[in-house]
Structures are given as C-alpha cells and as structure tokens.
Structure 1
C-alpha cells in the first residue's frame, strides 16, 4: 500500500528557492509550480499527496482544502500554522504516512506518531529527478587517522566494519519506496 505523503509546502519551497529573491518566492506562480511538480510525482509514484500551506496571518477563518491533479492542497485557517495542521495529520495517519519537512518540531511530532520523516532536501531531489539521493555516509571516516582509531577501539567489538548501521539501512530501505 502506498504511503500518504504530507508535505510542508513553504518549507519545501524555501529549500527549492533558497537563493531566489523574496517577491518571486512569495508568488502564486511558485506555489502552482510546486503543485505541478507534486502532481507529476503522484502520477509517477502513486502516493496520495497532501501539501499544506500557511494561512495563519491572512487566511480564511476556516481551513480550506482543494484537490487538483491527485494532490490535496490544504491552507491552514487564520491563527493556525501549517505546522499544526501537519502535526494533526501525522497523528491521524500515524504509520501510514510520510512527512516531508525540515522543521524540527514537525519532524519530532511526526516521529512520535510513528510516521516516516523525510527532509526537504531528500524529497526535493526525488521530486525533480525521480532518482534517489546518494547514501548518507557521514559516519565513515576519511583515510586520515584510521590507524589511531583502530588502536583505541575495544577488542570486544565484532561485525563488519564496512556495513552501514542498522538504523541507516532501515531508513534507506524505506526511502526506496519514494
């Protein structure tokens, strides 16, 4: 079964257009371009998609929802942030959803609910190219100082030193579905 993907819209736009000028970032055209990219992703992968945008300052008094090209677009109501809507949706779907946000508060809440969390950078690479990002290998050391590290390591450590940690392997397995 395909997981429901919940996207923090402005968080993802902030990553995609980090170097752009503010007026170009804030426009409706940029939001529409993101919705177009998400609908193409939906057509390619088949995951149900919900993108949440902030409406807490200038939005309607009630939450507004639209469906376009297989993508559900949610605008939070005035006084409610998109983060709160995403947290509520993550609690509703629990393990059956994946949350795309680089916001720590949203990510922590989604993890507590049992949802899979993906950063905006990871999802952006999959959104535009359709190809997965390279494996995370920051845990590996450079060639410098390997000899010193081997001497300090306790002798009771066993296992393949070239094998990725289990948590990283589980995360990569989940990411293959996206």
Structure 2
C-alpha cells in the first residue's frame, strides 16, 4: 500500500506567496513552478503525487499528463477541481494506505475527510515542500562537500605530468 498526495493546484497557487506573485505575471508559469516543486517533493518522499487543476482556467490544456512521476490532471468541462479530487479519493481509497488532500478550501477538506482522506492545509504542504528541499540540499552537500575541479578527477600520475608541464612554462 502506498501514500498518495492529491493537490488542489489553483488553491495552492492562491495560497503560497511566491506562487501568488508569479500567478500575477503568468498563471501558466505559476502552474509549472508548482508542478516542479511537487516533482522534487515526490522524488524525496516517494509518495504518489497528483495535482488537479480546474480546466476552465487553462487555455487548451491537456486532460492529463505526467511531469516526472507527478500526475497532472485537469477537470473535465463542467466539472470542478473539487469534484475531480473527490472522485480520485473515492477511486483510490481501497488501493492506498493513506490519501492526503492538500487544500485550504474548508468545504473540500470536510468532504474528502468524509471519504477517508487526510487533510493537509496549503501552509502545511508549503512547509513540507520547503523541508524536503532543505533536506535534499543538505544531502547533496554531504555527498560533494568540496569543489569539483579537474584535478580532483585526474589520475595522480596524469596530474603530475600536467604539473610538470605547467612549471616548465613559468621557469
């Protein structure tokens, strides 16, 4: 059994300050930024991540596609993102150990909670995404604490030859 995170995309975009600012410039950029952050989060946590957007707010959007392991879903015409999220929760409740729905929409939280999903507010998801990013950066620094130079990659014998060549030019 796996853990699934279902994200109410436009609700999160409207709740995270950095995405609100980006949305004012371009809704498409804000969507792409959110999906990118969720892709990193998914890689770190291993959770299945599904982000749902209202189709009426996007021009010519595909119904469903993947970015890395993040599934991006647009509601159908005449269907809200909330309705699509509710349907996904209902369909997945038997196949997943834990289903989390990330939204700050109180009504949506109550409905999905009634379906058996666990709630995560937009603020809580933002905190978890930031923590995951910090953990990834820390792990990368531990793996490669020094500069990555050519000398670090060369065989010792080859490095000596290059050093002798270099010293001949300065003598």
Please confirm whether the aligned pair reaches a TM-score higher than 0.5, indicating the same fold: yes
Instruction: Point out where structure 2 has 5 or more consecutive residues left out of the alignment.
Output: 134-171
The residue that corresponds to 1:74 in the other structure is 73
Q: Deviations over 1:115-143 (max 9, x none)?
A: 11111110111112228xxxxxxxxxxxx
Q: Which gives a bigger RCO, structure 1 or 2 (Cα 8 Å, sep 6+)?
A: 2
- For the 8 Å contact 2:23–2:29, the answer to whether it is kept is no
Could you tell me which of 129, 153, 165 is aligned with 1:127?
A: 129
Give the whole-Å Cα distance in 1 for the aligned partners of 2:20 and 2:10. Answer: 14
Q: Residues 5, 21 of structure 1: CA spacing in aligned structure 2 closer, same or farther, 3 A cutoff?
A: closer
The residue that corresponds to 1:8 in the other structure is 8
- What TM-score do the two structures reach when normalised by structure 1? 0.65
* Two-structure CA RMSD over aligned residues (Å): 2.4
Give the whole-Å Cα distance in 1 for the aligned partners of 2:74 and 2:40. Answer: 21
Please say if 1:93 is aligned against 2:92: yes
The residue that corresponds to 2:156 in the other structure is none
Q: How does 1:15-34 map to 2 (within 5 A)?
A: 15-17=15-17, 20=21, 23-24=24-25, 26-34=26-34
Q: Residues 19, 74 of structure 1: CA spacing in aligned structure 2 closer, same or farther, 3 A cutoff?
A: closer
Bigger Cα Rg: 2
Partner-residue secondary structure (3-state), 1:6: strand
Give the whole-Å Cα distance in 2 for the aligned partners of 1:65 and 1:126. Answer: 25
Q: Residues 57, 47 of structure 1: CA spacing in aligned structure 2 closer, same or farther, 3 A cutoff?
A: closer
Partner-residue secondary structure (3-state), 1:85: helix
Instruction: Point out where structure 1 has 5 or more consecutive residues left out of the alignment.
Output: 132-178
Cα deviation for residue 22 of structure 1 reads 5.4
Q: Deviations over 1:2-42 (max 9, x none)?
A: 31110000111111137627532x42111111111001001
